[in-house]
Structure 1
Amino acid sequence: MAKEKNKDLIFKNRKAFHDFFILDTYEAGIALEGSEVKAIREGRVNLKDSFVRIIKGEIFLLNAHISHLSTAHSTYRPDERRSRKLLLHKNEIEKIFSKVTKNGLTTVALKMYFNSKNMVKVQIATAQGKKLHDKREDLKQKSMQRETQQALKNWK
């Protein structure tokens, strides 16, 4: 777990940063059931294929995978890929909805973490998809930056 400004990072969706230009970010709570919080504490989370949708004025995180805990009771285990409601203010949901419908943007889950009050939070963002040449350009820039860092390290 990495510390980040009083936040315990659980999972960072690196694929989202690779596939999208991130425009605006929002912090949302998440409605969980049963032993899901304990499973999240153990790091049994995957947001890689997840996405966010607004359905009837409510916002949901779909296709996020939270594995079962081995110590959880076998009769009550919530579905690992069920849709989970995100908790945002109504005006924030309306703002996201207007951006998604008017500008053709999409919403993605970026990070899942514990805040300073030990509450599970999800950072979501409005994003615009990258084209293939944009992805290649980003990879070139990252490799150039990595090479310059290595050269500076070896020079000293």
Structure 2
Amino acid sequence: MAEPRKKGLISHGIASQNRKARFDYKIGDTVEAGLMLVGPEVKSLRAGRATLAEAWAGERDGEMWLFNCYIPEWQAGSFVARFEPRRPRKLLLHRKQVRELTGSITREGITLVPLQIHFNERGRAKVLLGIAEGKKKHDKRAAIADRDWARDKARLMRNRG
């Protein structure tokens, strides 16, 4: 029989999501990248305490980095293992992927947005990056109108049948 999962800790699955990103951006292609973390950061992620709301990815010195991702300090950690919650974290990608991504983000209006941080089957932290283009205000209004109409249509069909 399998061991029961520790309450509140994530062994594999989604640790954090950026739900607002799909509303604010048109997501084209997605890329999965590894994430270089220190020990207490992994514990905080497994507790599901990370925030991707204002995070973005970019190139620095020929490498890809995740900026402004908030992973709070692990409360049960020792004073030796302290880290800065919003420090840049290195993304682990192949050289060819780095070249492709830097080529795509040099175009105007294109950015790399982290969509989610998850743990794969092996328990490794991964970031799903979306190659995104910013939406205009009228596009956002159209998305809201479409969503409202779909909800009203479902309600009408449910009441009718």
Same fold (TM over 0.5): yes
Question: Can you list the C-alpha shifts for 1:33-81, whole angstroms capped at 9, x where unaligned?
Answer: 1211111011110000001110111000000000112111133211000
Match of 1:152 in 2: 157
Q: Is the 2:114–2:128 Cα contact (8 Å) retained in structure 1? A: yes
Q: Secondary structure at the match of 1:73?
A: coil
Identity %: 35
Match of 2:97 in 1: 92
Q: Is the 1:22–1:128 Cα contact (8 Å) retained in structure 2? A: yes
Q: Is the 2:16–2:116 Cα contact (8 Å) retained in structure 1? A: yes
Out of 25, 35, 57, the position equivalent to 2:30 is 25
Residue identity matched to 1:113 = H
TM-score normalised according to structure 2 size = 0.88
In structure 2, C-alpha distance between the alignment counterparts of 1:67 and 1:146, rounded to whole Å: 37
In structure 1, C-alpha distance between the alignment counterparts of 2:152 and 2:43, rounded to whole Å: 40
Q: Secondary structure at the match of 1:146?
A: helix
What number of residue pairs does the alignment pair up?
Answer: 150
Q: Is the 1:111–1:124 Cα contact (8 Å) retained in structure 2? A: yes
Match of 1:3 in 2: none
Match of 2:107 in 1: 102
Q: Is the 2:109–2:134 Cα contact (8 Å) retained in structure 1? A: no
Residues 1:64 and 2:63 aligned together: no
Match of 1:52 in 2: 57
Q: Is the 2:43–2:74 Cα contact (8 Å) retained in structure 1? A: yes
Match of 2:125 in 1: 120
Unaligned segments of structure 1, at least 5 residues? 1-6
Q: How far off its partner does 1:152 sit?
A: 3.0
Specify the structure having the higher radius of gyration (Cα).
2
Off by >4 Å, runs of 4+ in structure 1: none
In structure 2, C-alpha distance between the alignment counterparts of 1:92 and 1:23, rounded to whole Å: 16
Residue identity matched to 1:98 = G
Match of 2:43 in 1: 38
Cα RMSD, aligned residues only: 1.4
Q: Is the 2:27–2:133 Cα contact (8 Å) retained in structure 1? A: yes
Q: How far off its partner does 1:149 sit?
A: 2.2
